[in-house]
Structure 1
């Protein structure tokens, strides 16, 4: 690995953040690590720095709410590799995080060396997941449809959806994205159509189902 790597470590447990920091520090001589204990801080850290190489994201942080937190972060930072770190490391969770755009998955039971190897793999353009894990196929038809419909959205449409779920009005979304209100309306219409729902409220409920899903053990 080259020098000058910059990471965001987002986890609400200081001890585990410390363990991740130690693992990442072993990747090179110049490693900068920004820490976040909740979703908003993680998002702000990534927004403030434009040269972050990778984010490690815990799925069950305050403000993150499960897989919908991953969708929100992916939408906001389409080019930033995000590796999910979770104690829920069953095939179902790993498969869903990868389907929703994570660049890798690290179990909280992973060793220092496994964490480093996974991060190296992603930095080199690969996808990291726990060894010897059979991903299998989605067994929950509703979840399968949820994920497939979310995958059909463009990054901008996904951002519009996540902003709707944050309660923003069209004119606020237009301001945030630096586009016209007419463009936002067109995006909202496309989102509703692709998700197969009739209203903004239903679209928000659609996304919240991902967060409401208890993460399988």
Structure 2
């Protein structure tokens, strides 16, 4: 398992490296002090499983970095870290396609539980947002947007995406080449009008797709 930690404070990165060992004894943690280095490492390590991204970084903020990660690595889950609790920023981050938002004031075991959830293909919604009446995800129902019709093969890929499967696992399950799966995933993102894998899962739920049964 490979996780990229992006934070401009060395002590924070070192502390997270120790905490992350609780996920897997053989975990490999990559460190980046700023976004420029983070993008380099993500390009050099296509097998990354997760990114822990600090919201306040010296070269750009978390939303800008999240957008770039979404464009370059749409299937890579990003969990945003922040030292402050700001519901507006939380909402923006989740709407941008993050897989979760975690404050640095939390306990290490809570962080590990959240990361396990995300690594299983789920999305962690901060309690501060769940208690609000305003919708957190991008609300395409207000725009009247409806997804493009998917082919049976694309629906099969989407169904496995909803189960939290990686591209490699989908490739093996459907007996298709990795590049073919990437093409289908790209088509699914385009069909829902979103940029990231997480946003596609959210949009699929709003349009009636479930983990076990693609929409007919």
Give the TM-score taking structure 1 as reference length: 0.59
Question: CA, structure 1 residues 111+13, in 2 after alignment: closer, same or farther (shift >3 Å)?
Answer: same
Displacement of 1:10 after TM fit?
0.3
Query: Pairwise mapping of residues 175-186 of structure 1 onto structure 2 (< 5 A)?
Result: none
- Unpaired stretches in structure 2, ≥5 consecutive residues: 144-192, 194-216
Question: Is contact 2:62–2:80 with CA below 8 Å preserved after alignment?
Answer: no
1:40 aligned to which of 32, 36, 39: 36
1:14 aligned to which of 10, 13, 24: 10
State the alpha-carbon separation in 2 of the partners of residues 66 and 125 from structure 1. 21
Query: Pairwise mapping of residues 197-212 of structure 1 onto structure 2 (< 5 A)?
Result: none
- Aligned: 1:116 with 2:77: no
For each residue in 1:60-95, what CA deviation from the matched residue of structure 2 results, as whole angstroms up to 9, or x when unmatched? 112222412211122111110010011132222211
Displacement of 1:56 after TM fit?
0.4
Question: Is contact 1:14–1:37 with CA below 8 Å preserved after alignment?
Answer: yes
2:67 aligned to which of 64, 71, 89: 71
Give the TM-score taking structure 2 as reference length: 0.59
State the alpha-carbon separation in 1 of the partners of residues 132 and 94 from structure 2. 10
- Unpaired stretches in structure 1, ≥5 consecutive residues: 139-143, 150-193, 195-217
Aligned to 1:31: 27
Query: Pairwise mapping of residues 91-110 of structure 1 onto structure 2 (< 5 A)?
Result: 91-110=87-106
Displacement of 1:27 after TM fit?
0.7
Question: Is contact 1:94–1:135 with CA below 8 Å preserved after alignment?
Answer: no
State the alpha-carbon separation in 1 of the partners of residues 126 and 42 from structure 2. 26
State the alpha-carbon separation in 2 of the partners of residues 91 and 16 from structure 1. 23
Range moving further from structure 2, 76-85 or 86-95: 86-95
Across the aligned residues of Structure 1 and Structure 2, the Cα RMSD in angstroms comes to: 2.8
3-state SS, counterpart of residue 97 of structure 1: helix
